[in-house]
C-alpha cells in the first residue's frame, strides 16, 4: 500500500482528491495539510508518506519551499506537483527543487492515476508538460539561469517591492512604505527589469501575479 499526503490549502479539493486516491487500488491518503509549514509539523510524529501531492500556491510556506524541505529532510518521500500554474518558471523550479512529476489541476483523473502509478513504480512521472520544459531547459539553460530562476534569486526586499508594485502607489509612496529612499526603489525596479526581462511596471505586476508572489 502506497501512502499519500495531500498538501493544498483548498479543503474541498483535498476532500475530492482523497476520495479519488482512496478509490485507486494500492493507494491510501494518510495525511492532509493546509500548507507546507503544517505538513512539516505533522510529519514529525508520523511515518513519512511515500508520495506527497503538493500544491504551489499556498499561504505561510509555499510549494517551492516545501519541496526543497522534503528533498533534504525526507529523501525517501517523492513529490508530485498538482498545480494550476502552467508556466515554464514554475515547472522547472519545482523540478529543480526535487519534484518527481508535475500535473495540472484540470487534468483528467486517468492522468492522475497514471502519475501516481508511475511515481510509485519508477520514481518519476514524465508527461509531455514536463518533458517539453526539460528539453527546452537542456537546450536553453542559460535562458533559465537568467530568467526563470530569477525567481529564486529574488531578495526579501525585492519580493516585498513586487507586492507593492501590484498596488496603485507611486514609487515614492512605496519608498515610504518600505522605509527606503526613492533612489533605492528606483534601483530595485531597474534591477528587476533586467532580471525578469520586462520594461514596465505592468510587466513587473504581471510577473508577480503569474508566479504567485502576490495573491489577488
Stretch that binds its own copies, among 73-81, 139-147, 176-184, 200-208 (CB under 8 A): 200-208
> Interface with its own copies includes 112 (CB under 8 A)?
yes
Name which of 82, 34, 92, 30 is nearest 58 in CA terms.
34
Residues 6+ apart with CB under 8 A from 132: none
Choose which of 1, 138, 179, 216 interacts with its own copies (CB under 8 A).
Answer: 216
> Interface with its own copies includes 60 (CB under 8 A)?
no
**Helix runs in 123-181, H state only:** 128-139, 141-146, 156-165, 171-177
> Interface with DNA includes 129 (CB under 7 A)?
no
The CB-of-135 to DNA minimum distance in angstroms stands at 28
> Interface with DNA includes 172 (CB under 7 A)?
yes
> Interface with its own copies includes 168 (CB under 8 A)?
yes
Site string for DNA, 134-163 (x = CB under 7 A): ---------------------x-x------
The CB-of-143 to DNA minimum distance in angstroms stands at 18
57 secondary structure, DSSP code: S
Q: What is the CA radius of gyration of the chain?
A: 19
Asked if 203 and 211 count as a contact pair (C-beta separation under 8 A), the reply is no
Between 80 and 196, name the residue whose CB sits nearer to DNA: 196
Between 121 and 197, name the residue whose CB sits nearer to DNA: 197
Burial annotation 8-32 (CB, 10 A radius, 16+ → b, else e): bbeeeebeebbeebeeeeebebbbb
Amino acid at each position: 500500500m502506497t501512502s499519500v499526503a495531500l498538501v493544498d490549502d483548498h479543503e474541498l479539493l483535498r476532500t475530492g482528491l482523497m476520495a479519488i486516491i482512496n478509490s485507486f487500488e494500492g493507494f491510501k491518503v494518510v495525511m492532509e495539510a493546509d500548507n507546507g509549514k503544517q505538513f512539516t509539523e505533522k510529519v514529525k510524529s508520523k511515518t513519512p508518506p511515500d508520495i506527497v501531492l503538493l500544491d504551489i500556491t499556498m499561504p505561510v510556506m509555499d510549494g517551492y519551499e516545501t519541496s526543497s524541505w522534503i528533498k533534504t529532510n525526507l529523501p525517501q518521500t517523492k513529490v508530485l506537483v498538482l498545480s494550476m500554474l502552467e508556466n515554464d518558471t514554475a515547472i522547472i523550479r519545482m523540478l529543480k527543487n526535487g519534484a518527481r512529476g508535475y500535473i495540472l489541476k484540470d487534468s483528467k483523473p486517468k492522468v492522475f492515476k497514471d502519475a501516481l502509478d508511475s511515481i510509485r513504480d519508477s520514481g518519476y512521472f514524465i508527461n509531455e508538460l514536463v518533458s517539453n520544459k526539460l528539453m527546452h531547459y537542456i537546450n536553453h539553460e542559460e535562458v533559465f539561469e537568467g530568467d526563470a530562476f530569477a525567481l529564486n534569486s529574488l531578495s526579501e526586499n525585492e519580493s516585498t517591492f513586487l507586492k507593492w508594485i501590484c498596488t496603485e502607489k507611486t514609487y515614492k509612496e512605496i519608498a515610504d512604505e518600505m522605509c527606503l529612499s526613492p533612489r533605492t526603489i528606483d534601483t530595485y525596479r531597474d534591477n528587476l527589469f533586467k532580471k525578469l526581462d520586462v520594461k514596465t511596471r505592468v510587466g513587473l505586476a504581471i510577473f508577480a501575479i503569474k508566479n504567485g508572489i502576490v495573491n489577488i
